[in-house]
Structures are given as structure tokens and as C-alpha cells.
Amino acid sequence: GQQLNQSPQSMFIQEGEDVSMNCTSSSIFNTWLWYKQDPGEGPVLLIALYKAGELTSNGRLTAQFGITRKDSFLNISASIPSDVGIYFCAGLTDSWGKFQFGAGTQVVVTP
């Protein structure tokens, strides 16, 4: 079946640093989503991308839809302690809203 490869698996960074993570797939997606999940909570949508090459920002977050439609990137600038959590990418596989999720990138921010 389709596989979403998300990397890195975890990141330990200092407050103020920038963070970059990505998702790649062997299949083409029509939509990419990026979610953040805090412990004991469900994922919360951060950014949605709909077009190849699209670059979208949400505060300190910036995400891009790869030109090949097989990858996506998420950047967090000037990290703060509340950025701690697990970040998931998700790709839409069909028109009925069936998303496939990556395994997540765990971000730990140290002061």
C-alpha cells in the first residue's frame, strides 16, 4: 500500500532555533495537511495545502506542497516551548477524504 515517510523521527532543539521536517511518498497526493498533536489530545490542523508548489504560512509555521506532489515540508521559525509536540503530515488519497498519515516528528524544545 501507499507509504508516507516522515522525517526526522524526532528533533531536540533550543528555543529560538528553526525547525524543518518533511514527508515523502511514492504516490501523488492532491492535498497535504500538517497537524500537531499534544499529549493526551487529538491532532489539531495547522496548515492545509492544495496545489503543487503552494507555499502557505500560519504565524511562525510555513509549509510547502512539493512540485512533484509527492512531498511536503513544514518549517517552524524561532521555536518556543509550546512548539513541543508531535507533528504529522497527512496526504489525501481520494476524493472521499481518506487521508494517510505519516508516523510523526516529535519536537522537543529546550530553553
Partner 1 sequence: EAGVAQSPRYKIIEKRQSVAFWCNPISGHATLYWYQQILGQGPKLLIQFQNNGVVDDSQLPKDRFSAERLKGVDSTLKIQPAKLEDSAVYLCASSPSGAYNEQFFGPGTRLTVL
Side-chain half-sphere exposure of 51, counting CA atoms within 13 A: 4
Q: Does 91 bind partner 1 (CB under 8 A)?
A: no
Least separation in angstroms between residue 88's CB and partner 1 is 5
Give the three cell numbers for residue 16. Answer: 529560538
Under rule CB under 8 A, which residues in 92-111 are in contact with partner 1? 92, 96-104
Of 13, 22, 35, 20, give the one whose Cα is nearest residue 80: 13
Sequence-separated (6 or more) residues with CB below 8 Å from residue 95: none
- Residue 84, interface with partner 1 (CB under 8 A)? no
31 is an interface residue for partner 1 by CB under 8 A: yes
8 versus 16: smaller Cβ distance to partner 1: 8
- Span of 14-22, 55-63, 69-77, 86-94 interacting with partner 1 by CB under 8 A: 86-94
DSSP 64-95: EE-TTSSEEEEEE-S--GGG-EEEEEEEE-ST
Compute the least distance from the CB of residue 99 to partner 1, in Å: 7
Note the residues at the interface with partner 1 (CB under 8 A). 4, 6, 31, 33, 40-45, 48, 50, 88, 90, 92, 96-104
